Amino acid sequence: MIVDRQGRRFRNLRISLTSACNYACTYCVPNGKRLVAAQDELSAEAMARGVAYLIEAAGIERLRITGGEPLVSPKLEAFMTAVGQMGLEDISLTTNGQLLAKKLPLLVNAGIRRINVSLDTLDASAFRGIARGGDLATVLDGMDQASAAGMKIKVNMVPLRGQNLDQVMPLLEYCLERGYELRFIELMRMGHLASDSNAFLQQFVSLQQLLDLIGERYEYLQADAPVDATAVRYEIPGMGHFGVIANESVPFCRTCSRLRLSSTGWLHGCLSSSNRHFVGDLLDKPRHQALPALQRLLVKALGDKQEVAFSGGATVMKIIGG
Ligand code: SAM
């Protein structure tokens, strides 16, 4: 097992199945263009082999499939079928929900029981302004259907000053009523926001600001969360839970166990580091050749992690897999 001086190791793998996305969220894609897949994306088979090798070489136990938008990828079915047979403790998926209803049978058959759906507002016009793609009613219907099919749903919302702060309470209530857990994600200094401090600070909403807002209507208590959790979790007694991924306010680098593999074969040990390590060529090699080389790169990737706090990264979230 590869462990660093702080006792951190890679336990959670995030796979960006494709960098293509049917949205162009303002905080993720500055030019508003919806991305097509990169020319040199790995095949479903190579990516699945990557997961198998990383289970062995790094001790990966949990997998999250993300992107880009994973549900637009033609690789989805073959990839999920392959990783479903690897004995992982947990496989989950992050999606914008636009194709959720359509892909639900595939996801259910592949054994997915937990999904995170990104949704920044319940206001259709604000939705169009932020996501710059898709349709709000389709997302809500997708969540209803997934919930009826027995899936546990978390909703990811990025609160943005001047754009959707008025949606914090409506979204919280919507989620509490339906048994979904709302996760606020503090805006991260990623991509164009890493170099544009003004744009970041103008939009940033902190954990404390969120708690103040919620505290005006509800009493809440801090709830338990796993040691390497990224979210601070709260309970509203008798009603449900919500969480805040507070990258800025409560940095979680000291306990970070995440490793990322991009759709073009790059390993990223840290969102905040511009270092990345190419493993695409190793995934075509037999196990006995690939594993030693992979282990050397994993040591480097673990060394890329920040000591304490996330300071920002030029990589665009949809490339690296949020
Ligand atoms: N397409 C999928 C989705 O929409 O959930 C998965 C990929 S998306 C990049 C994953 C998550 O990253 C989304 O919840 C999105 O809101 C979040 N995200 C992207 N850029 C971000 C930023 N700069 N700060 C905080 N969250 C960000």
Q: Which two tokens stand for residue 153?
A: 């749903």
Residue 277 lies in a domain: yes
Q: Which two tokens stand for residue 296?
A: 């050397």
Residue 25 lies in a domain: yes
Residue 215 lies in a domain: yes
Nearest CA to ligand 1 atom 13: 118
The CA 285 to ligand 1 mean position distance, Å, reads 32
Residue whose C-alpha is closest to residue 303's, from 282, 275, 322: 275
CB-based burial of residue 105 (10 Å sphere; 0-12 exposed, 13-18 middle, 19+ buried)?
A: exposed
CATH of the domain at 73: 3.20.20.70
Ligand 1 pocket test, pick from 181, 317, 320 with the greatest ligand atom count within 8 Å of Cβ, gives 317
Ligand 1 pocket test, pick from 25, 203, 262 with the greatest ligand atom count within 8 Å of Cβ, gives 25
Name the helix (H) or strand (E) containing 296.
helix 287-303
Biggest alpha carbon–alpha carbon distance for the chain:
59
Residue 167 lies in a domain: yes
Between CA 133 and CA 126 the distance in angstroms is 12
To the nearest 10°, the Cα dihedral for 99, 135, 151, 19? Answer: 50
Q: What pLDDT is recorded for position 296?
A: 97
Ligand 1 neighbours (beta carbon < 6 A): 21, 27-28, 66-67, 69, 94-96, 118, 156, 158, 185, 187-188, 190, 193, 317-318, 322
Please calculate the CA angle 59-61-66 and round it to the nearest 5 degrees: 115
Residue 190 lies in a domain: yes
Other C-beta atoms lying within 10 Å of the C-beta of residue 308: 10
Ligand 1 atom closest to Cα of 28? 20
Q: How many domains does the chain have?
A: 1
Residue 5 lies in a domain: no
The CA 11 to ligand 1 mean position distance, Å, reads 21
Nearest CA to ligand 1 atom 10: 322
Ligand 1 atom closest to Cα of 21? 1
Nearest CA to ligand 1 atom 14: 118
Ligand 1 atom closest to Cα of 247? 25
Q: From first to last of the 322 residues of the chain, give the pLDDT tens digit.
A: 899 999 999 999 999 999 999 999 999 988 878 877 888 999 999 999 999 999 999 999 999 999 999 999 999 999 999 999 999 999 999 999 999 999 999 999 999 999 999 999 999 999 999 999 999 999 999 999 999 999 999 999 999 999 999 999 999 999 999 999 999 999 999 888 988 999 999 999 999 999 999 999 999 999 988 877 889 999 999 999 999 999 899 888 899 999 999 999 999 999 888 899 999 999 999 999 999 999 999 999 999 998 877 777 777 776 666 6
Contact of 85 with 117, CB cutoff 8 Å:
no
Phi, psi (deg, nearest 5) at residue 212: -60, -45
Residue 284 lies in a domain: yes
State whether the Cα torsion 221-225-227-230 is positive or negative: negative
Between CA 189 and CA 21 the distance in angstroms is 20
Nearest CA to ligand 1 atom 21: 28
Nearest CA to ligand 1 atom 4: 96
Between CA 295 and CA 308 the distance in angstroms is 24
Residue 7 lies in a domain: no
Q: How many residues does the chain have?
A: 322
Domain limits for position 226: 12-320
The CA 95 to ligand 1 mean position distance, Å, reads 9
Q: Which two tokens stand for residue 187?
A: 């805006």
